[in-house]
Structure 1
Amino acid sequence: MPEGDTVWRAARDLDRALRDQELTRCDIRVPRYATVDFTGKTVRNVVARGKHLLIRVEDEWTIHSHLKMEGLWHVYPKGGRWRRPAFKARCVLETAAKSVVGFELGFLRVIAQQEEDDAVGYLGPDLLGPDWDSGEALRRLRADPERPIGLALLDQRNLAGIGNVYRCELCFLAGEHPLTPVGEIKNLPRMVELAHRLLETNKDRSTRVTTGNLLRDPLWVYGRTDRSCLRCGTRIIRSELGDNELEQRVLYHCPHCQPAKVTA
């Protein structure tokens, strides 16, 4: 599942392939931008911003994408065989040596570079970005103390880069039930710092690990429905949580290690 670490790696790989390179082919397979052609122009750089990816073409344009649930970018040698069907490609960029293909991108558009702040400026501090600021992330989280931590962590306006996997794992590692209000989290600064450390640790590897065991049981709770908690043996519970019915996301937690708050 694409989260901030996945997008960071994609940006790194695309930047290595495209930075300072002249495009010999530009094929954007989104109807609104089908006539856009950057052939002959030079890619300045490629950067990640939370879960967003920005491919900057010279000093004028940006190809802005979001992987959503299924999207991914591949880099191939020029003329190399694609590992995904061609009909799933949404963007093809080629240089003299490389082919870069975006498959099943949930969101893709072309904007003027001067509009980047309008596009991604609302995001909170990027957990893997040069602007990471734990103090600002804490300020944003604490601005709504009644909001469940399981929703606040997914809100990219608070801190950018956390997806559903990290949401579940962070709540477990902090010993907090996902429905616990932000204002009642025992050690919110530690939780934020842990989020930063986990993404930093995982950004250079394709297998996401939170337990320290890369080969077996790499995650504490995510995807472990009805299996035993690795810490206490209690059955992991699967549920859903979202701001509304359309935004419900699968949630995993251990009812023993993450007890729900008891209200009078």
Structure 2
Amino acid sequence: MPEGDSVWQAAARLHRALAGRELTRSDLRVPRLATVDLTGRTVLDVTARGKHLLTRVEGDLTLHSHLRMDGAWKVFGTGQRWTGGPDHQIRAILGVEDRTAVGYRLPVLELLGTSEEEKAVGHLGPDLLGPDWDPERALANLLADPGRALGEALLDQRNLAGVGNVYKSEICFLLRVTPWLPVGALPADLAARLPVVAKKLLEANRDRPQRNTTGHRTQDLFVYGRARRPCPRCGTTIRVADQGDGSRERPTYWCPTCQTGPAPAPGSPAARRIRPHPRPTD
């Protein structure tokens, strides 16, 4: 699943290609929008809100999309071959004179009034990469359910918007606690650091083509996707197990030595059987 930095980059690409320009092609391939034609309207801007994309068009219209697990927006030049997937996976096409934005496998695509965007994104917590970022409010949201596992709370976009499964594992490693530690058990100093660390990681990566949380060229991530490899701090073998976020189980990585707190025991139902050295993914 794309994380906040990836969606921010997608919004920036779409904005550069479309903003301030008149649409010469509009094709929305979902049943409820099949008769909608935005041709002739000017795209005002494209903005990321957490993991949501808002394409604002003149006439108080916003095309709201969400990438979820494997959706993508691709931008192509005139004559360039479209490479985002087979045609039957295309859900949206927005074209201007020399650029075409193509949305593949978009599980969420809806048209709403720009003045009514809160219906789609009003439930989100402070956006780590947005102008509404408020670390105190984000922390208060996280602490509102003190018995909830930290990893689950971080993935809940109602608390703070932009953290995905990669950053969840990396943030917990940097705080030296396991993703299963109850939020309320976080020491006060670590709780205060949490929104600062999250903001720093996403902000540092919003303009990078390759995500890096370590600051080193030879290793991009501390623990995510590194099961069965040595911890970069202590050398202990990194472990992986499933953790739920209220909607699905997600692979979660941690060091059993460096990170304190509860965690699934080896061989438990949550523990994953994996191939050695899987590649990190979104």
TM-score range, shorter chain: over 0.9
Shift of 1:79: 3.0
Give the corresponding residue for 2:193. 190
Structure 2 residue ranges without an equivalent (≥5): 264-282
Q: Aligned partners of 2:238, 2:65: CA distance in 1, in Å? A: 35
2:208 corresponding residue in structure 1: 205
2:242 equivalent in structure 1: 240
Query: Separation in 1 of the partners of 2:162 and 2:15?
Result: 19
* Equivalence for 2:101: 100
The DSSP-based 3-state class of the residue aligned with 1:156 is: coil
Return structure 1 stretches of 4+ with deviation > 6 angstroms: none
- Equivalent position of 2:274 in the other structure: none
Q: Secondary structure at the match of 1:99?
A: strand
Q: Could you report, residue by residue, the CA deviation over 1:214-259 in whole angstroms, capped at 9, with x for unpaired residues?
A: 3x32111111121111111111111011145x51111111100113
Write out per-residue CA displacement over residues 148-193 of structure 1, whole angstroms, 9 at most, x where no aligned residue. Answer: 1111100100100000000000000100111111111121121110
Question: What amino acid is aligned across from residue 203 of structure 1 in structure 2?
Answer: R
> Alignment partner of 2:44: what SS?
strand
Alpha-carbon distance between aligned partners in 2 of 1:238 and 1:179, rounded to the nearest angstrom: 12
Q: Which SS does the other structure have where 2:171 is aligned?
A: helix
- CA contact under 8 A between 2:155 and 2:245: conserved in structure 1? no
Q: Residues of 2 paired with 1:143 and 1:172: CA distance?
A: 22
Aligned counterparts of 2:89 and 2:208: Cα–Cα separation in 1: 25
**Partners of 2:156 and 2:245 within 8 A in 1:** no
Q: Per-residue deviation at 1:142?
A: 1.3
Correspondences of 1:25-174 after superposition (within 5 Å): 25-84=25-84, 85-174=86-175
Cα distance between partner residues in 2 of 1:101 and 1:236? 39
Pairwise CA distance, 1:102: 1.1
The answer to whether the Cα contact below 8 Å between 1:55 and 1:63 also exists between their aligned partners in 2 is yes
Instruction: Note the alpha carbon deviations across 1:94-144, whole angstroms, 9 max, x for none.
Output: 001211111122321111222211110110000000111111101111111
Q: 3-state DSSP class of the match of 1:153?
A: helix
Q: 1:20-61: per-residue Cα shift (whole Å, max 9, x none)? A: 111000011112211111011111111000000000111321
Residue 9 of structure 1: how far off its partner (Å): 0.6
TM-score, length of structure 1 as denominator length:
0.95
CA contact (8 A) 1:79 1:99 kept: no
Aligned residues: 260
The 3-state SS of whatever aligns with 1:13 is helix
Q: What is the alpha-carbon distance in structure 1 between the residues aligned to residue 109 and residue 258 of structure 2?
A: 40
Aligned position for 1:220: 222
TM-score when scaled to structure 2? 0.89
**C-alpha displacement at 1:2, in angstroms?**
0.6
Percent identical residues: 53
Counterparts of 1:80 and 1:155, CA distance in 2: 38
Distance 1:130 1:74 in 2: 25
> How big is the alpha-carbon RMSD for the aligned residues of Structure 1 and Structure 2?
1.4
CA distance in 1 between partners of 2:220 and 2:143 (Å): 30
CA distance in 2, matches of 1:18, 1:47: 12
Check conservation: 1:234, 1:254, Cα contact below 8 A.
yes
Aligned residue in 1 for 2:8: 8
Deviation at 1:261, TM superposition (A): 4.5
Which residue of the partner structure matches residue 249 of structure 1? 250
- AA partner of residue 210 (structure 1): T
Decide whether aligned partners of structure 1 residues 43 and 232 sit closer, same or farther in structure 2, where only a CA change above 3 A counts: same
CA distance in 1, matches of 2:179, 2:126: 22
Paired letter, 2:253: Y
Distance in structure 2 (CA, Å) of the matches to 1:180 and 1:192 = 16
